[in-house]
Structure formats: structure tokens, C-alpha cells
Amino acid sequence: MKRIGLLTSGGDAPGMNAAIRAVVRSGIYFNMEVFGIERGYAGLIEDVVMPMEMRSVSNIVQFGGTKLRTARCLEMLTKEGQKQAVATLEKYGIEGLVVIGGDGSFRGARALTEEFGVPTIGIPGTIDNDLEYTDYTLGFDTAVNTCLDIINKLRDTMTSHERVCVVEVMGRHCGDIALYSGIASGAEIIVVPEIKFNMDEIVARIDRSRANGKHSNIIVVAEGVMSAEQFSKKLQEVTSYSIRPTCIGHVQRGGSPSMADRMLAAQFGNKAVRLLNEGIGNRVVGIRDNKIIDMDIIEAVSMKKKFNYELYETLQMISM
């Protein structure tokens, strides 16, 4: 393969820039021409394509966001839109496409592969960690670290005032950001979409911790359950504790990527180009048991994300 394309799609995630750099540099290593497509599938359909060189990706490894920008593109869901996307690829002689994004973006890549025979490689770029085939997605680690930084600060003030803080984190329908940031921050309670919550049990847990000498409580609520505001209202109906809701919000999506995310970006980007260089497409790359893996894209998008109940129990056992 001599010409490849690259786009970022869906929600942005810290580490996307580092992955762009890895793809471009690996492509150049294999004597390929690499084309960057701006604003995801929208740019592919609208022909916003630019050649990428060694220096196009200088000094971006440390930044959040995506240099190629990203978009959600409804046209890509239609046959017409997909045909237009393929026409752009043909215009530039692009033989293979690297798509950095979440499961929606992978469905777009799958459509190009299945319907039009375009070899595609998906790199999991989403803070949500909602893809079953890979242990971690790009951006998740940084997003959780951002949550930890904020929860640490909240704990300071909640303890001074003996309050309960309800902290809303992102993750869409997946509770992983809540689970990991809850465990790593020492939150007493997490509320995730995968497990039905019982408010009486939550109150009993707070009461127990106070009886054991605790002066504050952190409840991490995943956005897929409800907002911090809504949860606080429900909790306040059954307790007299002083409660403060905080929504961490979009700050989770930005910031300099962590070491873990930069390492994933380097390896995912490099693996994607190695596959295309061998003429292999229709795959996604990921990490499982600390090894970089690749897998059939159709199989990967059909896998249902499983929740880690053992980690949830760990939190129950150690945070009290």
C-alpha cells in the first residue's frame, strides 16, 4: 500500500494527537504517502484532505484534542454519503484508511470495508472505555486522572464541611470512568448504569462510614445513570446530610495525555500502519493482557461490553 488516509471521528480523546503522529511517522517509515482528513467522515465526504509530512505532526504528542479535528456526521449513515466518502478516497488514490474513534466510528469504517471493499483499520479513541475487545481505549487513562485530580480537591472541602459530594463523570452508557475514578480516589460509593442502585443501601453506607469516624463522602455517579443534580435531589429527600453536586464535564475530554495514553497511541498507530503495509485491512487494534492485538472489525463492533464486577466488589470492600 502506498497511499493511506487518516481521520479522527466521534468524541475527541486525549492521545488522539499522539496517535496521529504515530500513524504519519510510521507511514513515512514505510515510504507511504499519508493524507489527513479533517473533521472525520464529514471531511471525507466534503473532500477536506491534506497531505501529512514528518513536520505536520511535530510538537503535538503532548496535546489533548485532535489536530485533524472531529465531527459527528449523519450523512455517513446513508449509502449516498458512504459513496461520496469512497469517491474522495479514489480521487486521492488512497488505498487504506485509519479511523481513530469509538464504536460509532468503527461502524463507519465497517461500512466502507463491507460495502465498498476499502481496507480500514480502527484505533479505539474514546475516553469511555466502552469497547469490549480491548482492555483500554485511548484517552480513558487521562480522563480518569483528570477526574482524580478534581475528586481530590472536592474531598478536601467536603471533609472540612462534613459534606457528601455527588460527582458526575462521563462514560455514556459505560460505568468504567466511574468505576476506576471511584476506586482510585477512595470514593465510598459509585453508581453505574450496569448495576441498579438502591438509595436505602447508599444511605446506610454513608451512615456506617460516619459512625466509623469519616467526615465526608464521595459518591461518583456515571452520566449514564443520571446527573449529579438529579441524584443529589433524590438523596436529599431521604437524608439530612449536607450534599453538594459537581459535574466534572468536558474537562475530562481535554488535557495533556498521560504516559499510558501516549504509549497506547504510539503502539496503536504503529500497529495500524504495519497492518496496512502488509496489505491487511478490516481490523481494529487494541490492547489485551498488556499485548497489542488486532481483530476483525465486524467481530469487534458486535461484542458487548462487560462490566468488571470484581472491581466493583473491590471498591465495596475497601472504601468504607
Contact residues toward ligand ATP (CB under 6 A) are: 9-11, 41, 72-73, 76-77, 101-105, 107-108, 111, 126, 128
Of 44 and 61, nearer to ligand ATP (C-beta) is 44
Task: Work out how close the CB of 99 gets to ligand ATP at its nearest, in angstroms, rounded to a whole number.
Answer: 8
Task: Work out how close the CB of 73 gets to ligand ATP at its nearest, in angstroms, rounded to a whole number.
Answer: 4
Cell (9 digits) for 131: 469497547
* Alpha-carbon gap, residue 266 to 69, rounded angstroms: 19
| Contact between residue 166 and residue 243 where contact means Cβ atoms under 8 Å apart | yes
Percent helix / strand / coil, the chain, rounded to 5: 50, 20, 35
Task: Work out how close the CB of 127 gets to ligand ATP at its nearest, in angstroms, rounded to a whole number.
Answer: 7
Of 252 and 319, nearer to ligand ATP (C-beta) is 252
Of 120 and 209, nearer to ligand ATP (C-beta) is 120
* Alpha-carbon gap, residue 297 to 289, rounded angstroms: 19
Question: Which listed residue (128, 130, 176, 261) is catalytic?
Answer: 128
Annotated active-site residue 128? The verdict is: yes
Of 73 and 266, nearer to ligand ATP (C-beta) is 73
CA distances from 86 to 41, 46, 242 (A): 11, 11, 57
Cβ-closest residue to ligand ATP? Answer: 104
Of 45 and 191, nearer to ligand ATP (C-beta) is 45
**Residues in CB range of 94: below 8 A, 6 or more apart:** 3, 4, 5, 35, 88
| Contact between residue 100 and residue 292 where contact means Cβ atoms under 8 Å apart | no
Task: Work out how close the CB of 45 gets to ligand ATP at its nearest, in angstroms, rounded to a whole number.
Answer: 9
Cell (9 digits) for 310: 470484581
Q: What's the one-letter identity of residue 285?
A: V
Task: Work out how close the CB of 131 gets to ligand ATP at its nearest, in angstroms, rounded to a whole number.
Answer: 9
Catalytic residue positions? 128
